[in-house]
């Protein structure tokens, strides 16, 4: 069963993105089953993007078990508008997305699938097309169920901030942030269409049942505006709160900034007392210090009362001394977690850093990486790059690499294979997927950069491993399904290296999904490998950072560490100025890392702890827990 952290009439917070997908798919399947039993059609409004992919996978699974889609009618929320000469349906279109993930896998009739057009022909009226689309929805009796996602700025479909809640289905200009987020699907930001067709808020809010699902840290800020702040056109998702039968279903990552999650003692969802778990008490005291702008040791009884933390102290003369004792305990606890390097659970054991992409190790834990090498010896530290990262390389990097290889050859000319790649790139249309030969070169570029960065950290080159997991090798942002070959590769590297301390990226819900898949693969591999003494530490930093109160280890960085880490990141030249797919954060990865590490250090200093140039945070994870995999 799903692990629910919170459930109200309009908000459900579940542990993981898989739990969210399962809950949403279950509700959709139940509606279809009920209507099928009554010989009634089911009218669905459906979303695209990375968030609902797992929902559709669950529905396909239900279809294989007997759920029929013959009486299902669908309308999709939006579509890109390509050039009027784009006759064939592009692979980057939302229609193609739905065909891949749902429609081609179930018994739905082609006549029951409704999409906004992917092009406008001369003389066609966008307003007329939008009205006809809404008329078709009405002719089918309206939506039984509408599934929507939410953008990082709170948009629904292509209804961007500022959209009126009674807006009609229409053509809109795509905002720079929306186009930047779509860039991976087109292999080039410049290839993303400038306009899109979107279902209006009027039609969406007309659904009898409306569910907004959101997963991942990148959606957390938007969910605060959608769920807790006063509804406003600045956040289209907040309009759902005016609907009589709408729900927000979030994973914990997307809910982590909600006041009822961050400070449940303030919102009334929880009352902290002296009998509460210390982890909860520590979180509250750290929050209070940050809220009041005071070091821990400067907090007073009045501060605790103002922070709704009266349950942690007594009234009368004992109160102030209890405040002192509690703040001292929290400060001591945090101080004990500041270590030069996480300790080995077993003396003489090996250390393995798993990196989803070829640069995550240095971006997210480059300083600790160096400390591990210096403390335990280069021979005992290994880094394992789980995927090739080959789709995240610009074409000009391939041209440069082939030119260098030709210059180093005896003939001074590209090999026939490389010449064929250059010819392909010269004729390549914007937004076109690469051939396998081009992807091979791009993968080699990323390997070379990863070796250079690892060498700079001080690692032996024999301890650098590349798995090239098959699930990633689709050549597209949409990856292949995880297969047994992926699992076997992960188990094999664990059996070969026999680590006692394992590091892995803890980004459960990164923007493109690769980190999440890589972590699940590692968790399953650890269970299959079954080495009870192996300890798993999670790192973050590419998309977000752990809070200081939740970290098990806080590794301080000196100015030299910060400079070395930044230089290690800069060895990944194909990911600079800017990275091909930077996600919602436009900063260079080196800048992100430096500023996030500095921010963590500043938090510790503000609490009254020692000052550092930067801090990397790590959290222990119990890989033996089956629920953690999902």
Q: Which residues are catalytic?
A: 160
Sign of CA dihedral 488, 470, 464, 619: negative
Nearest CA to 54 out of 9, 21, 10 is that of 21
CA distance 151 to 405: 43
Given a contact cutoff of 8 angstroms between Cβ atoms, the answer to whether 116 and 74 are in contact is no
The tokens for 441 are: 């070169």
The tokens for 1 are: 């069963």
CA distance 400 to 408: 12
Which 3 state secondary structure label does DSSP give 268?
A: coil
Verify cis geometry, omega within 30 degrees of 0, for the bond prior to 288: no
Compute CA distances 219 → 65, 137, 568, 602, whole Å.
Answer: 33, 29, 29, 25
Nearest CA to 584 out of 183, 251, 159 is that of 183
Pairing of strands 614-621, 553-557: antiparallel
Within 8 A by CB and 6+ apart from 8, the residues are none
Which 3 state secondary structure label does DSSP give 213?
A: strand
Compute CA distances 207 → 25, 212, 293, 294, 395, whole Å.
Answer: 17, 12, 46, 49, 45
* C-alpha angle 559-571-371 in degrees, rounded to nearest 5: 40
Given a contact cutoff of 8 angstroms between Cβ atoms, the answer to whether 208 and 42 are in contact is no
Which 3 state secondary structure label does DSSP give 587?
A: coil
Verify cis geometry, omega within 30 degrees of 0, for the bond prior to 578: yes
Strand spans (E) along 188-318: 195-198, 210-214, 246-251
* DSSP states along 602-615: HHHHHTTPPP-SEE
């Amino acid at each position: 069963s799903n692990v629910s952290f919170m459930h109200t009439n309009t908000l459900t917070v579940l542990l993981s993105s898989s739990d969210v997908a399962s809950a949403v798919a279950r509700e959709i399947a139940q509606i279809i089953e009920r209507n099928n039993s009554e010989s009634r059609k089911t009218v669905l409004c459906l979303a695209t993007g990375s968030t609902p992919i797992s929902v559709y996978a669950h529905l396909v699974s239900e279809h294989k078990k007997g759920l029929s889609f013959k009486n299902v009618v669908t309308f999709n929320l939006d579509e890109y508008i390509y050039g009027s000469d784009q006759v064939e349906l592009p692979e980057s279109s939302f229609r193609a997305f739905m065909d891949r993930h749902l429609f081609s896998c179930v018994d739905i009739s082609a006549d029951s699938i409704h999409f906004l057009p992917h092009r406008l022909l001369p003389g066609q009226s966008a307003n007329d097309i939008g009205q006809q689309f809404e008329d078709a929805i009405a002719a089918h009796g309206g939506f039984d169920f509408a599934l929507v996602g939410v953008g990082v700025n709170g948009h629904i479909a292509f209804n961007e901030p500022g959209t009126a809640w009674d807006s009609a289905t229409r053509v809109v200009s795509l905002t720079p942030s929306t186009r930047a987020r779509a860039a991976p699907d087109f292999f080039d930001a410049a290839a993303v269409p400038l306009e899109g067709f979107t279902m209006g808020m009027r039609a969406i809010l007309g659904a009898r049942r409306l569910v907004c699902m959101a997963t991942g840290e990148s959606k957390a800020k938007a969910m605060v505006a959608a769920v807790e702040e006063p509804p406003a056109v600045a956040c289209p998702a907040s309009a759902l709160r005016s609907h009589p039968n709408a729900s927000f279903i979030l994973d914990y990552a997307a809910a982590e900034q909600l006041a009822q999650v961050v400070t449940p003692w303030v919102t009334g969802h929880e009352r902290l007392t002296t009998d509460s778990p210390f982890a909860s008490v520590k979180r509250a005291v750290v929050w209070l210090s940050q809220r009041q702008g005071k070091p821990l040791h400067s907090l007073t009884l009045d501060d605790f009362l103002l922070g709704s933390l009266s349950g942690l102290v007594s009234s009368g003369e004992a109160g102030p001394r209890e405040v002192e004792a509690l703040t001292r305990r929290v400060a001591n606890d945090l101080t004990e977690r500041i270590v030069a390097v996480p300790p080995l659970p077993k003396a003489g054991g090996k250390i393995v850093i798993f990196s989803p992409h070829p640069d995550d190790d240095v971006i997210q834990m480059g300083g600790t990486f160096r400390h591990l090498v210096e403390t335990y010896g280069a021979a005992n530290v290994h880094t394992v790059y789980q995927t090739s990262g080959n789709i995240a390389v610009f074409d000009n990097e391939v041209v440069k690499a082939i030119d260098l290889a030709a210059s180093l050859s005896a003939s001074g000319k590209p090999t026939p294979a490389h010449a064929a790649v250059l010819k392909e790139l010269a004729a390549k249309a914007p937004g076109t997927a690469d051939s396998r030969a081009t992807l091979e070169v791009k993968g080699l570029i990323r390997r070379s950069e990863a070796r250079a960065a690892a060498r700079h950290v001080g690692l032996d080159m024999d301890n650098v491993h590349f798995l090239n997991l098959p699930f990633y090798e689709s050549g597209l942002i949409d990856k292949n399904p995880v297969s047994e070959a992926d699992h076997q590769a992960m188990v094999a590297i664990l059996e070969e290296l026999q680590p006692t301390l394992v590091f892995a990226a803890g980004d459960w819900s990164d923007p493109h999904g690769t980190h999440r898949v890589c972590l699940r693969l590692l968790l399953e591999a650890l269970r299959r490998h079954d080495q009870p003494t192996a300890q798993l530490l999670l790192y973050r930093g590419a998309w977000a950072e752990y809070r200081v109160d939740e970290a098990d280890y806080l590794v301080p960085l000196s100015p030299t560490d910060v400079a070395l880490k930044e230089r290690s990141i800069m060895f990944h030249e194909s990911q600079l100025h800017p990275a091909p797919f930077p996600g919602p954060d436009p900063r260079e990865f080196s800048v992100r890392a430096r500023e996030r590490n500095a921010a963590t250090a500043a938090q510790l200093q503000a609490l009254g702890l020692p000052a550092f140039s930067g801090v990397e945070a790590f959290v222990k994870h119990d890989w033996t827990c089956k629920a953690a995999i999902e």
